[in-house]
Amino acid sequence: MLWPVLLLLGWERARIVGGQNPFLIFAFDSYPISHSLVTLIAWALLVGVLYRARTGYGTGAVVLGVCVLSHWVLDFVTHRPDLPIYPGGPPVGLGLWNSPAGTVVVEGLMYVAGVAIYLTTTRARSGGGRYGLWALLAVLVLSYVAALVSGPPPSVPAVALGGIVFGWLFVAWAARVDRRRDSAVGAACAARAGGGAGPAGPAGPAHP
């Protein structure tokens, strides 16, 4: 979510180089703020601290911080050596993107696993929580496939604007769906403790 904004502002740089491999159509010239390990640690701490201050929910703050930092770990696996350890530092990356088939398999398995975890730990309270979720999942798959077959984008600013608009659109859509789902884990715990308590509330973290 941060990279497109920095790209549009010119604080980070990338080039469209094209090619047959859809995962390697960009050359990432400089993105020390959004993609270096040191700055990702700082962003993770900031997100965790802000969430803890706003909600008082320490466990949730830790989980959010880990999720932010996991972005760099996953990028380290997929990117060619272009991820800096720290701003101006040596670039690293294992290069899974060099294999389009391998990338699709790994990312597809991760997507399926994430969906399975969410479906088993939440339950819909309404049609919006059920059908809205399946619609979102379908659109995400279609957008992934479209990115693979559509070829290089017209310009870097178009990439940045698309990332901002569609990125936040997906975030808002996911938040709307999540507010219409309950935590199945919380409901099960409440039922065991209280002999069949009602719904546990939205699927977001239940504060102590």
Task: Give the confidence band of 187 by pLDDT, cuts at 50, 70, 90.
Answer: low
196 part of a folded domain: yes
* Single pTM value for the model: 0.81
161 part of a folded domain: yes
Q: What is the pLDDT of residues 130-183, one digit of tens each?
A: 999 999 999 999 999 999 998 889 999 999 999 999 999 999 999 999 999 998
CA proximity to 67, closest of 50, 84, 44, 93: 44
87 part of a folded domain: no
28 part of a folded domain: no
Question: How many domains are there within the chain?
Answer: 1
Q: How far is CA 25 from CA 14, 16, 69, 157, in A?
A: 10, 6, 25, 15
Half-sphere exposure of 57 (CA within 13 A, CB side): 15
Give the domain extent around 123: 99-208
The structure tokens listed for 125 are 């309270």
Res. 185: pLDDT tops 80 = no
137 part of a folded domain: yes
Res. 28: pLDDT tops 70 = yes
Q: What is the pLDDT of residues 78-124, one digit of tens each?
A: 999 999 999 999 999 999 999 999 999 999 999 999 999 999 999 99
45 part of a folded domain: no
CA 40 to chain centre: 14
Tell me how far apart the terminal alpha carbons of the chain are, to the nearest angstrom.
29
Pairing of strands 83-84, 91-92: antiparallel
Go through the chain and tell me how many residues it has.
208
Residue 163 backbone dihedrals phi, psi, to 5 degrees: -65, -40
167 part of a folded domain: yes
149 part of a folded domain: yes
Q: How far is CA 28 from CA 23, 31, 77, 111, in A?
A: 12, 7, 16, 25
